[in-house]
Amino acid sequence: MTQFDTYDSLLSSIVAESGDEVKNPATGEVVGIAPSGTPEDMDAAVQRARDAQKAWAKLGEEKRNELLVAAADAVDAAAEPLAELLSREQGKPLNGPNARFEVGACSSWLRVTASFDSPDHTVVEDGETTAKIYYRPLGVVGAIGPWNWPMMISVWQFAAALRMGNTVVLKPSEYTPLSVLALVKVINTVLPEDVLNVVTGGGDVGGALSANAGIDKIMFTGSTETGRRILESTAASLARVTLELGGNDAGIVLDDVNPKEIAEGLFWGAFINTGQTCAAMKRLYVPESIYDDVVEALVEVSKNMPMGVGLEEENVLGPLQNRQQFDIVDRLVKEAKDGGARILTGGDPDYDQPGYFYPTTLVSDIDNDNPLVAEEQFGPALPIIKYSTLDEAIEMANALDVGLGSSVWSADRERALEVAAELEAGTTWINAHGTVDPRIPFGGMKNSGYGLEFGIEGLKGVAYPHVVNG
Ligand code: NAD
């Protein structure tokens, strides 16, 4: 039993009396009121984090790791109320790779991050010279996050930072503040005061964090456009920055696959979190020899994936999180139709419903330069593009200015590896897409950003390398 073992006890511990109303995107019902933080609140939080940092660093890595494991236990103990709140606020269903899965990922990221060996290592030891690199805490890490995986992405940003001896100030998305407030509330039952802080609010509050002279590093996950603004705001402080930005991931199917065998993997690669996932497959390239079979197999799988209100246990797909995202998906699917593409399923939302539900939409016979292919739709729509030669598919996959993830689907690993070597992306998955793992570094290239999270590389990303020579 914990103090947050019911939904009501968790919610009442975080909501404000006045502030920003948060509504369930599936029903329009009010979930709760989030405090509307100000830039001054942010400055005060950064100061508290600074004041707490030295003592946190002094605790030592072993003790900090114990506390991260205790934090994971606290998340596990409050898992069901956390998942319920996440489902109500973000819209994602409890089941499928959604709310319960996300809360589970939070605890496993904390546990696994605490289990890594130290990144410190010897660079030269030859009898004459001894040089070592020690990874020291940077100080205060500011973490600014999006609304699609609000809890999990926050943990991605702060688990490594805390482990390395930094204190952290989070600024969650204004669309999903309650989920992050709740997660921090639960974790702070075990952490020392002011080590992990959160201030809710809009872009101005995020700007106050990234421009604060007391910040040593910004971990940012969100759009490419905001990423650029964050870089500008750190020019004076020279704070280091990790940018996990937008993507428009390509999947390439090779002609040796069995379409029925890969259809479910393709489906979840594209539609995980109802397509609101940075590294989801957003364009699928299929050879003409098996095009119809792959399309048919995907349509079959999609028929068995219920979409609806997140708290109803049977659903595995939910609404778009906000009106703005609904409008983007709606516009892009309309542009696809206007461009002569075939809408195989979906494409016909009910505009009068209370929620932002956009049906699962599979689109075939579409050109590579159609906006539904070329822009990040970030929703439940998948354009399936026909190709005749592999070179052509690789060229189309690499044609965009983003490079987060990509995937190759083949029965022949060697062939898949050859294609992977040609793809411009931070990660290429083989026979999967978007499966992240706390042990395996993750990050983008091109306009998808730079810097790595997860694994030992992720630890190094929130520390400075201190060379000791002699
Ligand atoms: P967004 O850029 O609109 O907002 C992200 C965060 O930045 C929010 O907390 C927002 O309040 C804050 N912000 C806005 N203006 C700011 C400013 N001037 N200074 C500081 N902070 C500011 O992004 P979003 O719509 O919330 O998220 C969707 C985007 O995030 C998509 O493009 C998606 O691909 C991307 N994303 C990337 C990854 C990744 O790991 N690469 C993961 C998830 C989402």
CA–CA dist 335, 318 (Å, integer): 23
pLDDT tens profile 59-93: 999 999 999 999 999 999 999 999 999 999 999 99
Domain count, the chain: 2
Do 233 and 255 fall into the same domain? no
Q: Is 206 in the pocket of ligand 1 (CB under 6 A)?
A: yes
For this structure, is 244 an active site residue? yes
pLDDT tens profile 259-309: 999 999 999 999 999 999 999 999 999 999 999 999 999 999 999 999 999
Ligand 1 pocket check: which of 173, 233, 283, 375 to mutate, most ligand atoms within 8 Å of Cβ? 173
Do 234 and 261 fall into the same domain? no
Q: Output the CA 120–ligand 1 centroid distance in Å.
A: 32
Is residue 197 a contact partner of residue 49, using CB atoms and an 8 Å limit? yes
- The confidence band for 1, taking pLDDT boundaries of 50, 70 and 90, is low
Do 365 and 456 fall into the same domain? no
Output the residue whose Cα is nearest ligand 1's atom 22.
203
Do 208 and 254 fall into the same domain? no
What string of DSSP letters covers 339-359?
A: TT-EEEE-----TTSSS----
Q: Is 207 in the pocket of ligand 1 (CB under 6 A)?
A: yes
Establish if 188 belongs to a structural domain: yes
Which stretches of 305-379 are DSSP H helices?
323-338, 371-374
CA–CA dist 31, 86 (Å, integer): 10
Q: Is 152 in the pocket of ligand 1 (CB under 6 A)?
A: no
Q: Domain of residue 137: give its range.
A: 7-245+448-469
Establish if 402 belongs to a structural domain: yes
Please give the structure tokens belonging to residue 443: 């990050």
Using CA atoms, how far residue 229 sits from 38, 177, 232, 243, in Å, is 19, 21, 5, 11
β-pairing, 361-364 vs 381-387, is parallel
Is residue 160 a contact partner of residue 152, using CB atoms and an 8 Å limit? no
Output the residue whose Cα is nearest ligand 1's atom 8.
173
Identify the pLDDT of residue 12. 97
Do 167 and 145 fall into the same domain? yes
pLDDT tens profile 412-432: 999 999 999 999 999 999 999
Q: Is 244 in the pocket of ligand 1 (CB under 6 A)?
A: yes
Is residue 453 a contact partner of residue 461, using CB atoms and an 8 Å limit? yes
Is residue 3's pLDDT more than 90? no
Establish if 222 belongs to a structural domain: yes
Do 97 and 140 fall into the same domain? yes
Do 197 and 291 fall into the same domain? no
pLDDT tens profile 101-117: 999 999 999 999 999 99
Output the residue whose Cα is nearest ligand 1's atom 43.
278
Is residue 376 a contact partner of residue 403, using CB atoms and an 8 Å limit? no
Do 455 and 371 fall into the same domain? no
